[in-house]
Chain A
Amino acid sequence: MSAITADVPAGTASRGPGRVLQPRIDIAIRLVVAWHVVAALVFGWIAWNIFGAIWQLESLPRTAIGVASVVGIVANLAAAVLLVRSHRRGRMLSFTVNYLTLIVVIVLLFQSLNLASFLDDFAAAFNAAFLPFIGMAVAVAWLVLARRLEARLSDGQRTDVPGWLTTTVAAMRWVGIGAIAVFGVAWLVRLEPWNLASLLVEKFGESPGINTAYTVALVALLWCTITMWSQRAAMRFDTSAEQLESQSGWLFLSPNLIGFLLFFAGPLIFSLVISFYDWNGLTTPTFVGFGNYTETLGLTVAGTADELPAGYEDILGAPFGVIGASDPLFWRSISNILQFLILAVPLAVIPALVLATLINTGYRGTKVFRTIFFVPAVAGVIGVTLIWKQMLNSTVGFVNWFVGWVNGIVNAMVPGDPMPVPVEIGWLSDPSVALYAVVLVFAWSQFGFNTVLFTAGMQGIPKELHEAAMLDGAGAWRRFFSITLPSLRATTFFVVASTVILALQLFDIVYALNQPNPVGFPDNATLTPVVYLYQLGFQQNAFGQASAVAWILFILIFSLTLLQFRRQRRYAEET
């Protein structure tokens, strides 16, 4: 331990207050080292229980906790050793290990004390005391105002302030203070914090041993974290200003980063892991390697459907025979989504470009239209889709009524065989048109947002380009194709790429349109890869295979986006 003081870099201690505080920080660092040793022992005890099968856990949590405990041992020992050697990295490692462990302990204590339920109680008490709270807030605002007025009146340069005004403002201040006191007492009386405190004590008492351990760990970790972050520790380990700035940045970033890792990257990796398992989501998973992937993607070729191997169904006739698939529904979903892409993306992009051009002309009322067009982008998808579902109803829906009305007009104007009136197109029940209904709703829900993007892109085009073209005699069409469209290349790329990604992830519209029938209805005509993985996971309880489908879809989306990026880059380089 003596190495701590012996290895202090020359000159570090002489900087500012660090010199005076040197002995205190050395003692603190020794305590932190001792804490790391204790923490390593605790992690060792956890690892012992896990790997010694003393705690009976399922394989996945067992692996996760086991790995975490080993990482905990190594990290704490490494931090202790680096601190003892006064290595610069020791401070950051120690801080990071303590900070992350602190978060884990806070979550464990939160769970152990059932603080979610306590927060409910607190929210109920807060609601009961809401009026005095508002009164207190208004009184605080009043006091701040009075203080500001007072400060302005007491400005030394002002000599013309009447005495009554000064008295009034002073009275205002006292009224504010009095109101804060009255409302504050009323708030406390209504809030009954003593009840909340006793509730917390009661929850603590339900598992006193474990809660005490968590609390002790929390206090120790908090102290260690603050100590290692302190300026004294930074100076003690010769941390430069740039490093401190960088570390502050990471610290501010950490809530979001940890949230991202836990709630986005974590589930992502988890789904990748379970894609190699046969798992119903409820019982112990069985490792199947790439079984889910081969089952999903399996294709074969045979002369006739009868010659296909067992477990394969023909999905496509070919000149040389038939193509069979081990999972025909997956390939049906891929076929559907490709058809959907071809139809939906142009419908969501081209009208948006046209509308953006009209909006950009600057006619009166364009702002109103721009707002109206944006409505689908902010409206709830499920709610909007349910309205579309009513409109697409084959017997009483507006869409068929409208088609019938148009047919009536055509019949009146054009001689020959009359077109049907009324019409009964089964937008939601006829397999030959059901996908078009989904295309319609998707395009409608997307084109407003795309319009706004194009409008923003158009507003970035220099007006001089258009003016010069006009002087050269270019008409509106020529200017649109020669100036507007090429200038919008980056915007168009973004619009198309984001629309393609959204289209490939299609789920909610299909789900809502299909109710109360099974998703993918009718005859799997609206089955998309995401709908299919939902079906596999939540309806067939095949979470392993559902995860495999999710990762195959990820690769598909990634490949298409990469292709678009490369084409965009090549085009930019060529021009």
Chain B
Amino acid sequence: MRIRSSVIAGVGVALLLSACGSTTSNSSSSSAAPESSAAPESSAAESSEAAMETVDLRWRTRPDNQAEADLYAGISDDITASGIGLNLTYEPGNSEGSPYQDKLKTELSAGTAPDVFWIPGTDIADFAKAGLILNAAPQAAASGFNPADFYAGPMDQLQVDPATGQKADGFIWGVPRDVSTFALYLNLDLIDEAGAEDPRELAANGEWTWDKFAEVSQQIADNVPGSKGFGAGGWWANWGYFVNSAGGSFYNEDRTACALDSDASIAGLTFYQDLYASGSGVPFGEDAEPPFKAGTLGMFINGRWATPGAREITSFNWDVAPLPTGAAPGKDWLFWGAYVVNANTANPDAAWKLVEALTSTEVQDKVASLGANIPSRTSQEAIDAFLTYTPPANNQAFVDGIQNDPVAEGPLWTGSWPAFDKASGDEVTALMTGKITIDEFQKTICKAAAVAWE
């Protein structure tokens, strides 16, 4: 009898341990609670009442590296300790083989996602349309949130009415965590060795054009054996910059159809194709970061997020310059992502308070000091602080990118961004790898991309 009881107890413990191993930690505050989903209508009075008590919240953002993960954990502890009534649990959202969005979507589907989480700007519309994130307009109004404190590009996209796809009052889907733009990372030693003009000086003189860019690239490739003039990634923003800079666009004005077949868009892609055809660059789609770090690449298009990696370089002098100007001045990308509130959070008011705390000047300053991010607040104070975070010495190139008529990377409120990304990416790759001509591309691209609006 005793042996049998022990058997049962042992099996029970084994099952319990199995359950422990596979059960995701879930704060009581974040589980799907139907009765609490009506909470967005809670009043400001309730907000201040909630502030009196301590509320447990889980939150998540995608760090770019371990230093950022540690910093976010510290920020989380600081907010908890600040006595604003939040007891926070920070969950770094990235792990090998488990990309951030995949894990988040799985948790949203299972109802175990955190109360507050970060998502890329391109995902905002899909999440909002699926009812996964909270329209925090009541909370924002109660707390006196001012959208004008943040860059207009992202903030406009965060105030869209999903029914019309247009900006409207009464909608706040989140607050931008940070922003970034593209810049050209320069190997100054290689440019000097090639006898080419310094892109920073050309930019300062207003002479940093597409033609000059191609010329400098060719000089580096021709004059320094084993070197390449430029490199870029194969994903949408890289070729997309040349579309925008030529005066073209991904979409028509109200974002209800594809515009990649416009003459301006085609002009941008033609230049991009010719640039690669010249042979002066790292082949299309090849990762340009290894040759840049190896010192064999002169100019490398990348965002602010590449700065921590570049800071590890000790074998040559490097800096950044703005992207070359095309027919339409400016038009650098304004990359962004936002903190949003889980639609199923049991504590929407406290969650909004957390969003505001995470996007405060102080927190953005701490994050920007690590080098990978640019504050999403427009204040001069934030910009002045950012400029001090060197290297690179020429941080102004990023600020210029933000301030000179940038194109905010955009969610597709009237269609599906993932579908557009896939269709346009396949067509551009076919163009760049010589499978189709530019004329064929112009004929087929918008037919292929129409799937995004179906």
Contact = CB atoms under 8 A, between A and B. Distances in A.
Interface of A: 56, 102-103, 106-107, 110-111, 114-117, 119-120, 206, 222, 225-226, 229-232, 248, 251-252, 254-255, 258-259, 263, 280-283, 380, 382, 389-390, 393-397, 422, 424, 426, 428-431, 508, 516-518, 521-524, 535, 538-541
Interface of B: 1, 4-5, 7-8, 11-12, 14-16, 18-20, 22-28, 34, 96-97, 99, 101-102, 105-106, 108-109, 126, 130-132, 226, 228, 233-235, 282-287, 290-291, 294, 296-297, 416, 418-419, 421-422, 425-426, 429-430, 433, 435
Contacts of B283: 394-395, 424, 426, 429-430
A111 B22 CA distance: 12
Nearest to B22: A263
Contacts of B419: 540
A75 to B, nearest CB: 19
B296 A396 contact: yes
Contact of A428 (B101, B126, B286): B286
B291 A395 contact: yes
A313 B297 CA distance: 40
Given A226-B5, A523-B433, A117 B426 contact: no
Contacts of A120: 25
B226 A422 contact: yes
Contacts of B34: 56
Contact of A116 (B25, B96, B102, B297): B25
Contact of B11 (A231, A254, A389): A254
B105 A282 contact: yes
A573 B153 CA distance: 73
A517 B285 contact: yes
Given A114-B25, A517-B235, A539-B422, 17 more contacts: A103-B15, A116-B23, A117-B27, A229-B7, A230-B1, A251-B11, A258-B18, A281-B109, A380-B96, A389-B287, A393-B291, A394-B283, A426-B285, A429-B285, A429-B433, A522-B285, A540-B422
B233 A517 contact: yes
B101 A538 contact: yes
A281 B111 CA distance: 11
A522 B422 contact: no
B100 to A, nearest CB: 11
B286 A395 contact: yes
Contacts of B28: 114, 206
B130 A229 contact: no
A474 B407 CA distance: 76
Contacts of A56: 34
Contact of B15 (A106, A111, A541): A106
B378 to A, nearest CB: 29
Nearest to B225: A422
Contacts of B130: 280, 282-283
Contact of B285 (A106, A428, A539): A428
Contacts of A431: 429, 433, 435
Contact of A251 (B7, B25, B101, B430): B7
B234 A390 contact: no
A229 B7 CA distance: 10
Given A116-B20, A389-B287, A430 B97 contact: no
Contacts of B422: 518, 535, 539-540
A152 B26 CA distance: 54
B23 A394 contact: no
